[in-house]
Copies of this chain bind each other. A is one copy, B any other.
Amino acid sequence: MPHYAAPIRDMRFLLHEVFGAEDFLASLEMPEELSAELMDAIVEEAARICEDLLAPLNQPGDQQGCRFDDGKVLAPEGFRQAYRTFTDGGWGALTGDPAYGGQGMPKMLAVLFEEMLFASNSSFALYPILTSGAAMALGLHGSDELKKRFLPKLYSGRWSGTMCLTEAHAGTDLGIMKTRAVARDDQSYSLTGSKIFITGGDHDLSDNIIHFVLARLPDSPPGARGISLFLVPRLQVDEAGEVQGENGVSCGSIEHKMGIRGSATCVINFDNATGYLIGEEHQGLACMFTMMNYERLSMGLQGIGLADLSYQVARDYALERIQGRSPAGPENPDQIADAIIVHPDVRRMLLTMRANILAGRALALFAATRLDIAKFGRDDDARQEAQQLVELLTPIVKAYCTDRGFEDCVTGQQVLGGHGYIQEWGQEQAVRDARIAQIYEGTNGIQALDLMGRKTVRCDGAHFRVLAAEVSSFLERHRSIATLQPQFSAIQQACDDLAALTDRIIEKSRHDPAEVGAASYGYLEAMGIFLYGFMWGRIMVTAVTGPQQADSFGGEYRDGLLQVGRFYFARIMPRYRSVIEAIDSGADCLMALKPGQF
């Protein structure tokens, strides 16, 4: 069974050295002050629960899967006890609103925690993370009465939460959904319809499940503007917050999936179920999307976390497995072969993974700092600018980090050769589990459209300009570091190339309605490559300028980071140019084929 060790040193380096978390958070209006020591203690405690409690259940949970028995869903063995321990430890309340029992922690810490959760057990991770998302929707848009009734139990994990969007005939296109809500006399609503692909839709971990359901009111406007959000508990809850009887909510079946087999993916049927409106009527999508930036960031962390798990296994294997000889001659002449880490192509695989993982984690932290500013910032302008960056970065973290994460897991599997293909080593499970992150919470193609359309063309490139200014000011600030000039030039060049590309696409999209969709995926890829480069620039600057004396990270560690960064700029960064070249070929070659010619 693979062993997962939370990457605490890398995380602490990013948190403290690269992003200066203590000073940064002190500049915000946080509910309480967070010292570096307290943050370290939280990260270490989170690491312990992930390594010791959740990781051991990962492979057995995959092999057993969820069971659907007599209308009830049972999570894999051990999950129920682990969930109790997990929630009793307060981990379901980490970022919750302190007014209702939450701990009010910044997103910066949550992203590190969630990455560890996904790395140690992606199936398990989804239960509390979906609950946090549901609680956030309620916290942002629910009435005080509903918040008082439901939030504390969602934070404590006694109840869990889901988001119910998809219907069988309507995946991405929420505007055509059919689930209906009818107002009753008592301010509640009656919901009827069927939802599919509901993560954690039914299970035996918590005492109740609170569904957040998108549905259509009678006489609502057609399309996406006619959708409202409702809170629908699986079991009725009275005004005192006590669980009562059944509520017309049932699980129709569970899906048999490629991976995350310990996570219950359910068909949930609502039959005159009692629900409560969250936010305004017809504002359901807006309510849902205010928490989507948080959830989509989480999915990016699944990609990064699983890639890191796969990296650890592949690295240990490469250091131990002996086979063949170093191209420069035997390194271990006493043994019949050298460890495979001597081979340049094995190093290429490991370095690609490590370069992506560290940059992805840095990018998630960077986005988290902007979410924290947007939520806790003291200054209106800063909050607004942070929000622009959040809008821009969210689809990139969701899609680019999960694309690279999946690819990294495939690479980590490859390092083990045939051993990567059998269940024993866990590498194939990481691939299967990582795959879903490119699909759910809006497929990566949808993320690319969101980035290109709503976040770029529609605002005329304004969000990108905020990013470009940030990049320029970073490069300006560190221009004196002579050894990093090649990397700085590469970053500036990529930034300029992307700025010009952005202008070209905006211009072309005025005349060709297909241009946005034709450019979107490549644009997201090019942005991802560039942003990972920007993150490596930040990491390398910190590695060079940090305290070299009495350094808890050590010169070897900093030197290692510099080498990985150099690898990134030499081997990965150049790719964005051919992506731009492909984009510039335009939409015609995509649209020319008639449907019958496919």
Contacts and interface: CB of A to CB of B under 8 A. Distances in A.
A414 B428 contact: no
A63 to B, nearest CB: 9
Given A417-B439, A431-B435, A517-B343, A336 B589 contact: no
A591 interface: yes
B448 A559 contact: no
Given A420-B439, A556-B597, A521 B171 contact: no
Contacts of A521: 345, 348
B445 A414 contact: yes
A571 interface: yes
A593 B564 contact: yes
A309 to B, nearest CB: 15
B423 A256 contact: yes
B421 A443 contact: no
Given A347-B593, A571-B585, A578-B577, A257 B422 contact: yes
Given A258-B431, A428-B258, A567-B590, A595 B421 contact: no
A359 to B, nearest CB: 15
Interface string A347-382: 111110010000000000000000000000000000
A571 B519 CA distance: 11
A346 B566 contact: no
A545 interface: no
A28 interface: no
A82 interface: no
Contact of A255 (B255, B422, B439, B566): B422
Nearest to A520: B345
A327 interface: yes
A444 B592 CA distance: 35
A406 B407 CA distance: 11
Contacts of A510: none
A570 B597 contact: no
A149 interface: no
Given A438-B414, A449-B345, A582-B570, A258 B563 contact: no
Contact of A443 (B328, B347, B414, B575): B414
| Copies of this subunit | 2
Residue with the greatest number of chain B CB neighbours at <10 A, chosen from A349, A444, A591: A591
Contact of A572 (B349, B574, B582): B582
A339 interface: yes
Contacts of A323: 170-173, 176
Contacts of A563: 589, 592-593, 597
Interface in A204-250: none
A530 to B, nearest CB: 13
A432 interface: yes
Contacts of A581: 574, 577
A598 B350 contact: yes
Interface in A264-319: 265, 315, 318-319
Contacts of A577: 577-578, 581
Interface in A463-508: none
B258 A421 contact: yes
Contacts of A424: 256
A74 interface: no
A336 B445 contact: no
A439 B423 contact: no
A173 B324 contact: yes
A436 interface: yes
Nearest to A529: B578
Interface in A539-575: 556-557, 559-560, 563-564, 566-567, 570-572, 574-575
A514 interface: yes
B590 A347 contact: yes
Contacts of A346: 445
Contacts of A560: 593-594, 597-598
Contacts of A333: none
A116 interface: no
Return the 5 tightest CB-CB contacts between A and B, nearest first.
A560-B597, A344-B517, A570-B585, A258-B428, A173-B323
Given A259-B421, A327-B516, A557-B597, 9 more contacts: A172-B323, A172-B324, A257-B423, A258-B421, A258-B432, A348-B518, A406-B410, A417-B439, A574-B582
20 contacts: A166-B418, A171-B418, A196-B418, A255-B422, A257-B428, A258-B432, A319-B598, A344-B520, A344-B591, A345-B521, A417-B439, A421-B436, A557-B597, A560-B597, A563-B589, A563-B593, A567-B589, A571-B589, A572-B582, A575-B575
